Amino acid sequence: MRNLWLCLLLAPLPAIAQEFALMPWPAQVEHRTGQLTFSAPLQPRVDGPASERTTRGLERWSMRLAEKAGPAAMGDSRNGMPVLIRYERVADLRTPDVDGSYALAIDSTGITVQAPTDIGVLHALATLYQCFRRDDAGWGFPSLRITDDPRFTWRGLLIDPCRHFMPLDVILRQLDGMELVKMNVLHLHLTEDQGFRIESKLLPELHEKGSNGQYLSQEDIRKIIREADLRGIRVVPEFDLPGHATSWFASHPELASAPGTYQPDTRYGVLDAVFDPTNEATYALLDRFLGEMAALFPDPYLHIGGDENNGKQWDANPAIQAFMKAHNLPDNHALQAYFNQRLYAILKKHGKRMMGWDEIGDVPAGSAPALPQDVTIQSWRGKEGLVSAAHAGRDAILSNGWYIDLCQSAEFHYLNDPLPPDSPLNAEERKHVLGGEATMWAELVDARNVDTRIWPRAAAVAERLWSPASVKDVPDMYRRMEAVSKQLDAIGLRHKSAQLELLRLMAGSDDVAGLKGLVDVMAPVQGYKRHQLAKHTTHTPLTGLADAAVPDPEGARRSTALIDAFITRRDAATAAALRPVLEATTNAPALPCCGTAADARKVLVNAALAIMDHLLKSTAPDAGACKTFQLALDRAQSPILEAEFADLPAFQRLFAAACTPAK
């Protein structure tokens, strides 16, 4: 990524890409001269069967356009903007491969939308909102013709309300963000070691003893399903089995593979608690519970988890070992395959299609019944699970590379493709790759800052799953993603406001300008490194610097672009643009929350400014100046308060440009 933002500064992009901020980028876009001036409200004429999705979608987007236009929207309602909408049928989301294509035409006379289904109409309205802009003539729309169709049918977002509880309002607002970027599957991970987060009316002890009082009621679930459906989004529930199951055993310890008293765990990681697959009472309880959930969730898929069972309790249980020997099950993979077969039969009885993490495909040949052909694999450990499933004729989706809780860059997620050019799958096997999901695991997020981890980077995943594979211009993706970030903020997502709320909490003051300047160039350390730097549990406050910092911060990209431009040009104009950007990151107050980071940043920036003066004068810095800069780099290199300077590589390049002897 060394020259990414330098290229963005120096190289012009295609005119149409520069002008618009659509995300996901449509399959085909044709720009024509002229503009349609906005007048509220929208005056739709609908040619198609009655659809509450269409009615509510028009109301929602019309209101949001009016909110942005402000006084321009206060016109005569009889002279509102004409919108002609034609579609053929109302989609049934129980059919997962719903046609979401649409055609959108905008000219000086009005707007026309054509789509096979009302889902396509919703996609067109989301694109229409993204086209809305203000210029010298006021608010309006450019003249465009767009023909659009998703590349993959499964474009999902997983939300984990178990490690940290996510109440109803948090989940509902994510639906608005998903609709804007055309994601169409909400995956709710509802049971985990740390919490049983859904109400059961048949077995109320499960949520009463397994949730610490924090769970989604069935009425909450019905509201989520309804609001999701109105936005063209399916809801797939996950109940993680047989491992990650501690919260189940708070009420039913007799079903665990080891005796003891259980309660929702406060620790994270791969824990030992696991269902006893040799106990018939296990299947009796799961039959009742999964039958209840099958009736609650209309989607054809039900996710059984199946990941990260370490098998320790199975290994230590003599009765389980005897059962394995009697049934010719040579190892724990085979025993879990047996368990999955029993679950498969239960789900089939209740009309559901099984889905699970890629471990459920780890069935040793000849040691257990083969995985049924209609089980769908979610590949998270690598792309191998997806490839092997498709080779075997099974459907699969990809999540590896899209774990957005790991705080990696939008570029990293954007360039991750379920079907890259070098995919080993043939044309027929590729049909089994349904798409993918971004996963928002909640060990290190809570209801306050979860939006800052999902958005706007999930939009990059959404584009990879929607747009043609050829759409992969990273600098332009970043340009459009920042525009979409503002749109997401305008419709009620909290990725911007939540950060300010945390900064005010950290500072104990409303004056957070200096602190924000620092945080805007810092990112949480990537991957699972935070767990190595400090012990985190469900009780750890998420109110520190790393919790306020966002992955892939825009401020760091800006400073990186300017530093690289200065290295190339070494002129006064670029230095004049760079200096205030760097200095704005050095004004954080000396607070306990961030004092070490603030001090390290001041030292780093001061050293860089001194080196810049040498480069401007074309004089070589002396050994002392280079040593000072190297010490500043070393000090800034280590993780600071579980965060890091996201623009540090650019400072390292500046040091190399000034202090590395010419060969």
| Mean residue pLDDT across the chain | 94
d(CA 340, CA 575): 63
* pLDDT of residue 172 exceeding 80: yes
Which residues have C-beta within 8 Å of that of residue 288, sequence separation ≥ 6?
Answer: 202, 203
Mean pLDDT confidence for 212-226 = 98
Q: 3-state class of 641 per DSSP?
A: coil
Residue whose C-alpha is closest to residue 127's, from 275, 24, 16, 272: 24
Task: Convert the pLDDT of each residue in 615-647 to its tens digit.
Answer: 999 888 999 999 999 999 999 998 999 999 999
Q: What pTM does this model have? A: 0.95
Task: Convert the pLDDT of each residue in 331-359 to its tens digit.
Answer: 999 999 999 999 999 999 999 999 999 99
Give, to the nearest 10 degrees, the angle between helix 595-616 and helix 648-659: 30
* pLDDT of res. 618: 87
d(CA 269, CA 598): 32
Task: Convert the pLDDT of each residue in 575-604 to its tens digit.
Answer: 999 999 999 999 999 888 899 999 999 999
Q: Which amino acid is at 181?
A: V
353-357/234-239 β-pairing: unpaired
Task: Convert the pLDDT of each residue in 256-294 to its tens digit.
Answer: 999 999 999 999 999 999 999 999 999 999 999 999 999
d(CA 612, CA 597): 22
For 337-370, give one letter per residue: b (16+ CB within 10 A) or e: bbbbbebbebbeeeebbbbbbbbbbbbeeeebee
Q: Is 308 a catalytic residue?
A: yes
* pLDDT of res. 233: 98
Are the beta carbons of 301 and 223 closer than 8 angstroms? Answer: no
* pLDDT of res. 9: 36
> pLDDT exceeding 70 applies to what percent of the chain?
95
Mean pLDDT confidence for 62-76 = 80
Q: What is the CA radius of gyration of the chain?
A: 27
Q: Which structural domains are found in the chain, ordered by start?
A: 28-148 (3.30.379.10), 512-659 (no CATH)
Which residues have C-beta within 8 Å of that of residue 213, sequence separation ≥ 6?
Answer: none
Residue whose C-alpha is closest to residue 165's, from 111, 212, 117, 226: 212
* pLDDT of residue 478 exceeding 70: yes
Mean pLDDT confidence for 495-507 = 97
* pLDDT of res. 365: 75
Which residues have C-beta within 8 Å of that of residue 163, sequence separation ≥ 6?
Answer: 192, 194, 195, 268, 441, 442, 443, 538
* pLDDT of res. 79: 74
> Annotated catalytic residue: which of 208, 308, 501, 554?
308
Q: What is the DSSP string of 167-220?
A: -HHHHHHHHHHHHHTT--EEEEEEEETTEE-B--SSSTHHHHHHSTT--B-HHH
